[in-house]
Amino acid sequence: MITYTGKTVFNGIAIGKIAVFKKKDKQVKRHHIEDTDKEWMRFNKAKDAAIEQLKNLYDKAVAEVGSDGAAIFEVHQMMLEDMDYLDSVKNIIDTQSVNAEYAVAVTADNFYHIFASMEDAYMKERAADVKDISERVLTILSGEVSDNVLTKEPSIILADDLAPSETVQLDKSKVLAFVTVHGSTNSHTAILARTMNIPALINVLMEDYEELNGKLAIVDGFTGTLYIDPDQSTYENMKEKQEDDRKKKELLKELKDKENITIDGQRIDLFANIGSTGDLASVIQNDAGGIGLFRSEFLYLEKDHYPTEEEQFKAYKMVAENMAGKKVIIRTLDIGADKQVDYFNLEREENPAMGYRAIRICLDRTEIFKTQLRALLRASAYGNLAVMYPMIISLEEVLEVKKIVEEVKRELDAEKLPYKNIEQGIMIETPGAALISDILAQEVDFFSIGTNDLTQYTLAIDRQNTKLEKHYDPHHPAILRFIKMIADNAHQAGIWVGICGELAADSSLTETFLKMKIDELSVSPSYIYPLRKKIRETDVSKL
């Protein structure tokens, strides 16, 4: 038996034979071309075909893993339209009189090294994306047909790394787990694996891994271990662990329709985070009490134009109707930082996480903001909608937002369009907002604590920088003190407070949050049942 260790992307136990995923080596040869205009047209035809493929991949990914996981294929479409990329290909074709394949290969190599040498972890990830889109164009130019059939039986997929497009095209019924030699926990492939609920390990350092094809293996996503040719004792222990995990998941389903109430009678709401209407099935299946975070920016990310009032209205109305009276909290546009939309024409920033983003854009480009508010208010007539505003740092911002909301209401009144007076809340995700939360609480109906950004800003750590993972501590006493302060200030003002960041799903802190009297936790749908179990087994009075 051989044992390897790596980083866990998603837990669980998988037992089966290994299927090694080998990328086809594209041997690109340089040819002299007489008619460079014709060659440029040939490239553009291949590029357009690649974009069409990516659109189909996006639709497939939305159906299988939701809009969050599918967003990368829109990023890839935008990268293929990037003028720097296109200018490089055209320049090589024109100045060197060479074939499109060679120009694409050189451009891909140059851009890969540029991105790979960057300090920012998010930008480093784009290096793999450049390779992925370029290989897609090369495949089309060469007339090859992609073949993603690895095996006829369910297997553990082992690869040096996997591009998002390779991941989503695999036959999910044949994938037991993912194991890659390289990769990052922040990569889009890792995000897809988590969304697909498939055990996955990355950074499993090994040599000659291609020789492991066909061997029996076990992936232990709980410990980050890969066993090759396991001995009988290990095999039996892992089978037992796998069965225990399956039984636990089945038992959790017995909690359907049960209250989120502790032994001593303290109640808390368990809501779901979603990115699009496509996530509603998972919300209902996991018995969420409502939606605590609808990331409305994905309506913008999935389009090549500003979504119209009607387009937004239909989406918000659908969610409100489907949730049948349960609360739906829609976060207004949170574009900027790592969520870029080409048609917004945002300038490149040295430090985008602290730059022009979220409510700052909305208060600057009020027509975009008012369009969204009109759609939200109109949809409120069809259910129980609430709205919250991200990245608030001052009382002045809150007052300005409320003034704009009142303007929109007057417009709707004049047009005789129905709406409800919905709850308005703000996200507390900066130290500044936390410190003045007693003042802010006087002007809003609720707080939602965004622990991802609150941790990043409080500890001065880029949460996407893999070099800083050991320093990124969401359990840091400063974070917990901020949460306690925010909760106390909210309750003193008579408003409720929730948590919608990753920390909400951290069961090791559930008792702490109950002790702080947090009113609501909003998490990915699959975490609802485990948290409900934890809550129902807790006696706050004895903590």
Query: Is residue 238 a contact partner of residue 31, using CB atoms and an 8 Å limit?
Result: no
Report the Cα–Cα distance between both ends of the chain, in Å, rounded. 44
Which amino acids are annotated as binding site for Mg(2+), given as ranges?
Answer: 429, 453
3-state DSSP assignment of residue 106: helix
Query: What does the H/E/C string look like for 135-176?
Result: HHHHHHHHCCCCCCCCCCCCEEEEECCCCHHHHHHCCHHHEE
Query: Is residue 187 a contact partner of residue 131, using CB atoms and an 8 Å limit?
Result: no
Query: Is residue 540 a contact partner of residue 262, using CB atoms and an 8 Å limit?
Result: yes
Name the residue type at position 232: Q
CA distance 294 to 492: 27
Torsion sign over Cα 134, 138, 139, 140:
positive
Tokens of 153: 């039986």
Strand partners, 200: 10, 178
Classify strands 496-499 and 520-523 as parallel, antiparallel or unpaired.
Answer: parallel
Give the torsion through C-alpha atoms of 516, 274, 355, 77, to 10 deg.
Answer: 160
Taken as a whole, the chain contains a residue count of 543
Active site residue 188: yes
CA distance 175 to 273: 26
Query: What does the H/E/C string look like for 436-504?
Result: CHHHHCCCCCEEEECHHHHHHHHHCCCCCCHHHCCCCCCCCHHHHHHHHHHHHHHHHCCCEEEECCHHH
Classify strands 225-228 and 216-220 as parallel, antiparallel or unpaired.
Answer: antiparallel
DSSP string, 64-86: HHHHHHHHHHHHHHHHHT-HHHH
Residue whose structure tokens are 């939200």: 376
Phi, psi values for residue 386, rounded to 5°: -135, 165
CA distance 352 to 527: 30
Task: Choose the catalytic residue: 31, 182, 475, 500.
Answer: 500
Query: Is residue 202 a contact partner of residue 160, using CB atoms and an 8 Å limit?
Result: no
Give the DSSP H/E element, type plus range, for residue 180: strand 175-180
Across 332-371, the runs of DSSP E, i.e. the strands, are none
Q: Give Dmax (Cα) for the chain.
A: 83
Residue whose structure tokens are 């040939």: 42
Categorise residue 324: left if φ over 0, alpha if ψ from -120 to 50, beta otherwise.
left
Task: Choose the catalytic residue: 32, 182, 188, 475.
Answer: 188
DSSP string, 409-420: HHHHHHTT----
Give the residue from 107, 58, 96 showing the smallest Cα distance to 78. Answer: 58
Which amino acids are annotated as binding site, given as ranges?
Answer: 295, 331, 429, 452-453, 463
- Taking the CA of residue 212 as centre, how many other CA atoms within 13 Å lie in the half-sphere pointing to its CB? 32
Catalytic site positions: 188, 500
